[in-house]
Amino acid sequence: MDYSTLSKRLKELNYLIVKRMFELIVSRLNRATRRKLNLKKELLAIDSTTIMVGKNRLPWALYHGERSGIKLHVSFTNSTGMPLQIVETTGLKHDGPIGVELEDKHFILVADRAYFSIEKADRYADTNQDFVIRLKENIQLNRKKSLKRAPIEGSNIIADFTCTLGTAQNQTKKRHRVVEFTDYEGAIVRVITNLCDVTAEEIAGIYKERWAIESFFRWIKQNLNVPVLFGTTKNAVFSQLFTALIAYVLLKFLHNEGRKKHNCKSLSFAGFTRQLLCATLPIEWCIGLKEILAFHRELYQINTR
């Protein structure tokens, strides 16, 4: 297709139509497959990624200096490796307020320090929203009370205690659990949580799982070529981004389902995608994918009768 033809069409297409298509596909395909950790709920990582281009290309989305940028705020289910919900904004929108739209009581929220606030900590405790969120370094911890824990050899846990957080002018009304541990580089990480029936080591493991969403962002930018825009209007940019996300979800679903086939050779997601696009998938994978597509086609026909 000619580049200018595609650009013109994207300019005219309301991107909310493509977003709705994405949401329908996600609602059908993003189902938990298995639990990596022994927890009552699945993990839901929350984070954002910013895609930047030259200032003159997106005058409606000015960012910093000579750059423009748009941001995708994402909730990501670790068990399936797929996004669950996405909120699109310009690059200057702060993560914390948008994160409220991504909350879900069916999951344990896992987030970086940008999503922490005194108000949120108390509200989550009142509404039974399970969470593990990294603390900002300047947060004041008051009236610490250490929790009893059995020593574990080789553990990276430094401290496990309850406390109130904040200053006298703005302090949590409730006591919250804080776990301090070291990461793989030896840096100290502090997280706040309302999970009381799991060990400190498991809390550290939950926060480590948050890096799955970072891998998702990296894969999107490397493989779906989203920084190269076919149009510069809001409709064109967000239509292209949600189309790219639809492609990711469909590929991830096929990879997840294909791995369940016992006769299929083990392939990483990157390897599966590369061989699929190059038409070099092993024969057992080709047969497996045909069976998967035939099954879901038949299921769709039954549900629409």
Instruction: Provide the token pair at 305.
Output: 């009768």
pLDDT tens digits along 70-81: 999 999 998 889
Residue 272: burial class (beta carbons within 10 Å; 0-12, 13-18, 19+):
buried
Q: How far apart are CA 179 and CA 192, in angstroms?
A: 7
Phi then psi for residue 49, to 5 deg, are -135, 140
Find the range with the poorest average confidence among 54-68, 138-152, 275-289: 54-68
| CB 85 within 8 Å of CB 102 | yes
Q: Which residue has the higher pLDDT, 11 or 129?
A: 129
Q: Which residue has the higher pLDDT, 4 or 114?
A: 114
Q: In percent, how much of the chain has pLDDT > 70?
A: 96
| CB 143 within 8 Å of CB 163 | yes
Q: Would you state the pLDDT for residue 35?
A: 47
Q: Would you state the pLDDT for residue 134?
A: 96
pLDDT level of residue 39 (50, 70, 90 thresholds): low
Q: Would you state the pLDDT for residue 32?
A: 54
End-to-end Cα separation, the chain, in angstroms: 36
Q: How far apart are CA 282 and CA 267, in angstroms?
A: 10
pLDDT reading at 33 higher than 50: no
Q: Which residue has the higher pLDDT, 305 or 298?
A: 298
Q: DSSP readout, the chain? A: --HHHHHHHHHHS-HHHHHHHHHHHHHHH------SSS-SSEEEEEEEEEEEEETTT-GGGB-STTEEEEEEEEEEETTTTEEEEEEEEETTS-HHHHHGGG--TTEEEEE-GGG--HHHHHHHHHHT--EEEEPPTT--EEEEEEPP----TT--EEEEEEEEEB-SSSB-SS-EEEEEEE-TTS-EEEEEE---SS-HHHHHHHHHTTHHHHHHHHHHHHHS-TTS-S--SHHHHHHHHHHHHHHHHHHHHHHHHHHT-TTSPP--HHHHHHHHHTT---HHHHHHHHHHHHHHHHHHHHHT-
Interstrand relation of 42-54 and 107-111 (parallel, antiparallel or unpaired): parallel
What mean pLDDT comes out for the span 250-278? 89
pLDDT tens digits along 190-248: 999 999 889 999 999 999 999 999 999 988 888 777 767 888 889 999 998 999 999 99
Q: Would you state the pLDDT for residue 186?
A: 87
pLDDT reading at 12 higher than 60: yes
What is the chain's mean pLDDT, rounded? Answer: 89
The count of other CB atoms within 10 Å of the CB of residue 99 is 24
| Strand arrangement, sheet containing 176-182 | 82-90, 67-77, 42-54, 107-111, 131-134, 188-193, 176-182, 157-165, 141-146
Residue type (1 letter), 64: H
* Listed residue (277, 252, 248, 280) closest to 265, CA to CA: 280
